[in-house]
Amino acid sequence: MIQGQLRRFELFDQVDDAGVRVLERLFTTRRVRAGGAIIKEGKRGDELYLVLDGNVEVRKRKSASEWSVRRHLIDGQLFGVIALLGDGLRTATCTATDRTLLGVLSKADFEALRADEPAVYVRLMQVLAHQLAKDNRAVRDLLDGAMAHSPA
- Rule CB under 8 A: which residues touch other proteins? 60, 68-69, 81-82, 85-86, 91-92, 114, 118-119, 121-123, 125-126, 128-130, 132-137, 139-140, 143
Q: How far is the CB of 8 from other proteins (least distance, A)?
A: 18
The total of other beta-carbon atoms located within 10 Å of residue 4's CB is 10
In the bound state with other proteins, the residue whose beta carbon lies nearer, of 52 and 123, is 123
Dihedral angle at the C-alpha atoms of 81, 82, 84, 88, nearest 10 degrees? -150
At residue 135, what are phi and psi to the nearest 5 degrees? Answer: -65, -40
In the bound state with other proteins, the residue whose beta carbon lies nearer, of 27 and 79, is 79
Q: How far is the CB of 97 from other proteins (least distance, A)?
A: 20
**Cβ atoms 146, 60 nearer than 8 A:** no
Distance CA 33, CA 38 (A): 10
In the bound state with other proteins, the residue whose beta carbon lies nearer, of 53 and 75, is 75
Bridge partners (DSSP) listed for residue 51:
102
Q: How far is the CB of 21 from other proteins (least distance, A)?
A: 18
Distance CA 49, CA 112 (A): 17
Q: How far is the CB of 52 from other proteins (least distance, A)?
A: 21
